[in-house]
Structure 1
Amino acid sequence: MSASINENFLKLNESYLFSEIARRIRTWQESNPEVSDKLIRMGIGDVTRPLPKTVVNAMIKAAGEMGEPETFRGYGPEQGYDFLKEAIRNYYTKFGVELNPDEIFISDGAKSDLGNILDLFDKKNTVLVTDPVYPVYVDTNMMDGRKIILAMSSEDNGFLPLPSPEYKADIIYLCSPNNPTGAVYNREGLQKWVDFARENGSIILFDAAYECFITGDYPHSIYEIPGAREVAIEFCSLSKKAGFTGTRCGYTVVPDTLTRGEGNLNKMWLRRQTTKFNGVSYITQRGAEAVFSQEGEKEIEENIQYYRDNAKIITDTMDKLGIYYTGGKNSPYIWLKCPGDLDSWDFFDKLLKEVYVVGTPGAGFGKSGTNFFRLTAFSTHDNTREAMRRFEEFVSQLVK
């Protein structure tokens, strides 16, 4: 006899979206070494601003503590240190949300927890994702063999689909502000999803990784919506808020009253984490605590505003060219309709080869993205302006 494999992995696309993008860029660079240094990347959502000084100083101090016998720390609590959970709890009070510290679980990022949370659910559950969609939602469920249904979005609904009676789903993924479209649900829209989940016994997995970009009266947390504590688990990350893409820290909120059948999901997640996860380092968590300090928040807001300014450079260009888009105002992502009715991969190749600008083909996020394209605001001001200058010139030639 020999070990059998999880054959669900064989159903996945051979290449993850961003791996395919990297392959195409590499092929182009190898064929065009004389201009490869002119490449401007506006595709993958990685930040470019450094960690705030307050965060760095807190991590330096914590590293020093680890070098002294009196302050050295070994294994920490798998669910996170109380000092960081308390800082996050206080942050939520700004949105009128009261959390119990035991409802907050510190992680190495939202992406990990969005996949790992599935340990709590039966593989027979049906999953609803919006299309276009962050690929991790789909791929992690395909790995478990769950049935996936799609809530399609388009220009007609502003890429913000709402519940429909035909959606028979046990698990619902929502992301607001959305990746990849940048669209953000208002309170009325999220209330409809919460009501739908309550009526159907569904669980909402709410990805709030981009909540820090919200301005105006849009919900930062799904728990601002009445009834959400009965149906929702929330995931957030410091990657975009504070530049932790390489430092790795996030958190998941599981209400202590959230139950299904005889299972309390808060206790189940605690059991899962204490079994399969050893926690985030003390040094990183001290840095994360500083994110929520008065000085840290001031420095972080300056970085976020920097990206908002980039987004405005992009949206101003779209407005000038008369190109339909969503995002950019409450999100670092701009989701635009490909000029000239081009397929998104064709548009990707032409933009790369003709003006040396990289974005993300919408088709990589689902069928609804076939003729759409994602640009990000995570570049420098100079590169963003230059990319948009080239983009405008390119589009003007394309639609002649």
Structure 2
Amino acid sequence: MMKLNGNFQNLQQSYLFVTISQKVDEYGKAHPQNQIIKMGIGDVTQPLAPAVIEAMHRAADEMSCKETFRGYSPDSDGYPFLREAIAGYYKGFGVDLDASEVFVGDGAKSDVGNIVDLFDVDNTVLVPDPVYPVYVDTNLISGREILYLDANEDNGFLPLPEKDVHADIIYLCSPNNPTGAVYDREQLQAWVDYALENRAVLLFDAAYESFITGEGLPHSIFEIPGAERCAIEFCSFSKTAGFTGMRCGYTVIRKELQFEGVQVSKLWERRQGCKFNGVSYITQRAAEAVFSPQGRRQVMETIAYYQNNARVMAKALEEMGIWFTGGANSPYLWMKCPDGMDSWEYFDYLLNEAEIVGTPGAGFGKNGEGYFRLTAFGDAQKTVEAMERMKKLKK
């Protein structure tokens, strides 16, 4: 008799953002004249950079001509032109990559979820709490034991290793989703040293690295000595260049990363060849344009737009006397719910009293209870309006 994977029963009944969408839809039906401002899901609102659009048009034109038409890509790991462009980008961080260590995928979420195919089910997983749900859910589906590390106000939501805790797979996200907190070099060195000592793999989500402006803060785990022997890095064009509707990202696995005498990058290459058919040629040409001088300038202008939204939000929270972290080097602001409200209570309060949608911190884990995430990816005028509405609620 066929049996289902019973581990799915260990998941929450609904993905966090599906629940939010349902609540917003219900409110909209009951209040058809609503003027909801959405600051919950981290989707971008600004259009793609002109350099990216131009590259897509050129690539589409190539597909219309027999001499330049492209069918299946040579392999599922990405065209050489994009892998080399990404490796060149890392040189700006002082990291020398071989293009063969870069693997192009359809987004960081997919790769973060799929990378666990490489690891035995008996490995113990360590995740900070609060945490991006995908880290937890993909391991619950596989049936792994998960340990939680307390991220809280006392440690600035940047927990460090605990010597008496052993783990085999460690997840870190910096700038962090949901808290917006960013690890410095010394803190990341502590995690690299811990991973090396425990013969663990460090899965480092750098999807928001382009928002880092703080002097000396690392953009890549591979800026940290020893990381090439213990870490895998994931990054995305979604937040960097607005590719949320196009889907493209990349994973970096150094040749030095080996376990049991096996080069991990070779396993990932084999896994992708078996289960993934590659990112479209047009999308990869668009991604390549992100790293051109013109593309970098245009992309950073858009990021500056979102960063200004974050400053507007941070100033308003400060004026209201609300504790928060993030915003300075991240598109997320992680605020303490006012007046002792719990996360979902505050969600309903904001939606009903101010028609603002955010993300309840409880959806990211038990340590998220009593906190709330706002995103800076919205329209500038609507961001100003939303913060004015919030300030009126405090009066």
SS in 1 for 2:140: helix
CA distance in structure 2 between the partners assigned to 1:8 and 1:395 by the alignment: 44
1:130-181 deviations in Å (ceiling 9; x for gaps)? 0000000000000000000001111100000000023211000000000000
Letter in 2 for 1:112: S
1:170 paired residue among 159, 165, 168: 168
2:62 paired residue among 62, 65, 72: 65
| Deviation, structure 1 residue 346 | 0.2
| Deviation, structure 1 residue 23 | 1.1
SS in 2 for 1:233: strand
CA distance in structure 1 between the partners assigned to 2:207 and 2:40 by the alignment: 17
What percentage of aligned pairs have identical amino acids?
A: 58
**Which residue number corresponds to residue 104 of structure 1?**
102
Instruction: Map 1:229-244; keep pairs closer than 5 Å.
Output: 229-244=228-243
CA distance in structure 2 between the partners assigned to 1:352 and 1:392 by the alignment: 14
1:342-383 deviations in Å (ceiling 9; x for gaps)? 101000000000110000000000111100000000011100
SS in 2 for 1:245: helix
- 4+ residue stretches of structure 1 with deviation over 3 A? none
Instruction: Map 1:246-325; keep pairs closer than 5 Å.
Output: 246-325=245-324
| Deviation, structure 1 residue 395 | 2.4
Letter in 1 for 2:206: A
Q: In angstroms, what is the RMSD of aligned CA positions?
A: 0.7
Number of positions where the alignment pairs a residue of Structure 1 with one of Structure 2: 393
**Which residue number corresponds to residue 333 of structure 1?**
332
Q: Tell me if 1:39 matches 2:36.
A: yes
SS in 1 for 2:94: coil
SS in 2 for 1:79: coil
Letter in 1 for 2:343: S
1:221-256 deviations in Å (ceiling 9; x for gaps)? 000000000100000000000000011100000111
**Which residue number corresponds to residue 245 of structure 1?**
244
Letter in 1 for 2:40: G
Unaligned runs of 5+ in 2: none
1:206 paired residue among 201, 204, 214: 204
Q: Is the 8 A contact 1:128 1:167 kept in 2?
A: no
| Deviation, structure 1 residue 28 | 1.1
**Which residue number corresponds to residue 125 of structure 2?**
127
2:159 paired residue among 155, 158, 161: 161
Letter in 2 for 1:148: I
SS in 2 for 1:209: coil
Q: Is the 8 A contact 1:163 1:192 kept in 2?
A: yes
TM-score, length of structure 2 as denominator length: 0.99
Unaligned runs of 5+ in 1: none
CA distance in structure 1 between the partners assigned to 2:14 and 2:277 by the alignment: 30
Letter in 2 for 1:109: G
**Which residue number corresponds to residue 27 of structure 2?**
28
Q: Tell me if 1:143 matches 2:152.
A: no
CA distance in structure 2 between the partners assigned to 1:121 and 1:381 by the alignment: 43
2:49 paired residue among 49, 52, 70: 52
CA distance in structure 2 between the partners assigned to 1:63 and 1:289 by the alignment: 14
1:285-324 deviations in Å (ceiling 9; x for gaps)? 0000000000000100110000000000000001111111
Instruction: Map 1:353-364; keep pairs closer than 5 Å.
Output: 353-364=352-363
TM-score, length of structure 1 as denominator length: 0.97
